[in-house]
Amino acid sequence: MGNSLVKSQLKDVGGFLTTTISTLESYLNETTISQMEQQLSGDSNYYKIVLSNLRKLLVYCEEGLDACSVILLSEPFQKATAEKTLYRIFHQCIEEFFSPKNDAWFEDSRSAYTGRNSIKFYKSVPESVQELVKGLEGEFQRVREELEYYETDYRTKMIQSK
């Protein structure tokens, strides 16, 4: 892939991360477990896991945005570093959104065929959490489709270098 295409994708992903960070920060700064329980009486331990996962996702997105910014400002443009960063963003941000390590929620792949949102929660969560995730999902899906190339390309390069 040419430098200009990789640079363009890095800028696009940076914009996506900026918007995602803003959305997650706004939600997390305004939401407590007590407020969640007022919205929907439920499992407070599960609510803690959900909020913890959202905070982790926020940190990953912030780290990814920082990396994008540094690479975009560096001269000359370092294509290999940019590709590795996009690969890392794919795993840390995109994959963490669709399949968090601590199983706070999961992706129902069958939903993609029905046009519905694919993120499903194991237990009931307040409407505000559902709306947050639903609002983020479309852009995460778009960026996932764009960055899947780096997943296969990077692994191929790693295998060939052995």
- Lowest mean pLDDT, pick from 13-27, 109-123, 134-148: 109-123
The predicted structure's pLDDT at residue 120 = 93
User: Per-domain residue ranges for the chain?
Assistant: 3-160
CA 96 to chain centre: 6
The predicted structure's pLDDT at residue 127 = 96
Pick from 67, 49, 143, 141: nearest CA to 104:
49
Per-residue pLDDT tens digits for 95-112:
999 999 888 999 987 765
DSSP line for 67-96 = HHHHHHHSSS--HHHHHHHHHHHIIIIIHH
**Percent of the chain topping pLDDT 70:** 88
Beta strands per DSSP E along the chain:
105-107, 119-121
- Lowest mean pLDDT, pick from 9-13, 40-44, 118-122, 154-158: 154-158
As a whole number, the mean pLDDT across the chain is 90
Q: Is the pLDDT of residue 68 over 90?
A: yes
Average pLDDT over residues 17-41: 97
The predicted structure's pLDDT at residue 138 = 93
Alpha-carbon distance 150 to 5, whole Å?
A: 13
Q: Is the pLDDT of residue 130 over 80?
A: yes
CA 42 to chain centre: 26
pTM: 0.90
Pick from 160, 156, 56: nearest CA to 104:
56
The predicted structure's pLDDT at residue 140 = 96
CA distances to 95, 117, 120 from 108, in Å: 14, 8, 7
Q: Is the pLDDT of residue 1 over 60?
A: no
CB 53 within 8 A of CB 104: yes
Strand partners, 63: none
